[in-house]
Structure 1
Amino acid sequence: MKTVLLVDDEHAILDALSGILEDEGFRVVTAGNGREALARMEEARPDVALVDVMMPVMDGRELLRELQAHERWRTVPVVLMSAVPRAILTRDAPITCDDFFQKPFDLWKLIDRLRELAGSDDSH
C-alpha cells in the first residue's frame, strides 16, 4: 500500500481527499501545514506528497524547499495544489515540483498522477 502525505490547512479538503484516497487504496497521513508535514515525514516516509500552497505557519513552497534541501526526503515526489494559477505563484520565483494541480481539479487525473509518482500500477 502506497502512502500519501496530504497537507492542507482546510479540514474539509483534508477529510474529503483522505477518504477518497483511502477508498482508492492509499494509506493517507495528514498535516495542516508544512511544519506538521515535516513531523509526519519523520513518522512515516510517504511515497508521494500532495501539498497545498497557501497555508499558515509554513506554506507549500517553504515545505517543498525544506524537503528538497534534505537528502533523506528529496526523492519524495511532491504535487502542489492551489486555487491560484501556477503562473502567478511562479512569477517571483520558480517552483520545482513533480506536478501542479489548480483547484478545482479533475480528481481522477490527480489520483492517476499520484499512483504514477508513488510507483503504483493500480488503476481505477
Structure 2
Amino acid sequence: MKTVLLVDDEHAILDALSGILADEGFRVVTAGNGREAVHRLREETPDVALVDVMMPVMDGRELLREMAADDRWKNVPVVLMSAVPLSILNREAPVACADFFQKPFDLWKLIARLRELAGESSH
C-alpha cells in the first residue's frame, strides 16, 4: 500500500481527500500546514505528497524547498494544489514540483497521477 502525505490547512479538504484516497487504496498521513508536514516526514517518508500552496505557518512552496534540501525527502514526488493558477505562482517564484492541480480539479485525474507518481518513487 502506497503512502501519501496530504497537507492542507482546510480541515474539510483534509477530511474529504483523506477519505477518498483511503478508499482508493492509499495509506494517508495528514498535516495541517508545512511545519506539521515536516514533523510527519521525520516520522516516515511517504511515496508521494499532495500539498496545498497557500497555508499559514509554512506554505507549500516553503515545504517543497525543505523537502528538496533534505536527502531523506528530496526524491519524494510532490503534487501542489492551489486555487491560484500556476502561472501566477511562478511570477512570485518558480515552483519546481512533480505536478500541479488547480482547484477545483478533476479528482480522478489527481488520483491517477498520485498512483503514477507513487509507483515511480524510489522507496
Whether the TM-score (by the shorter chain) exceeds 0.5 is: yes
2:92 equivalent to 1:92: yes
Separation of aligned partners in 1, 2:44 and 2:19: 19
Separation of aligned partners in 1, 2:69 and 2:87: 24
Separation of aligned partners in 2, 1:37 and 1:61: 12
Look up the match of 1:55.
55
Aligned length: 120
Look up the match of 2:73.
73
Separation of aligned partners in 1, 2:84 and 2:94: 14
Structure 1 residue 51: deviation in Å?
Answer: 0.1
Look up the match of 1:118.
118
Per-residue Cα deviation, 1:21-57 (whole angstroms, up to 9, x for no partner): 0000000000000000000011121000000000000
List structure 1 segments (4+ residues) > 6 angstroms apart after TM superposition.
none
One-letter amino acid of the counterpart of residue 113, structure 1: R
Could you tell me the TM-score, scaled by structure 2's length? Answer: 0.96
Aligned-residue RMSD, C-alpha: 0.8
Separation of aligned partners in 2, 1:112 and 1:92: 29
Gaps of 5+ in 2: none
Gaps of 5+ in 1: none
Three-state SS of the structure 2 residue aligned to 1:55 is coil
Look up the match of 1:22.
22
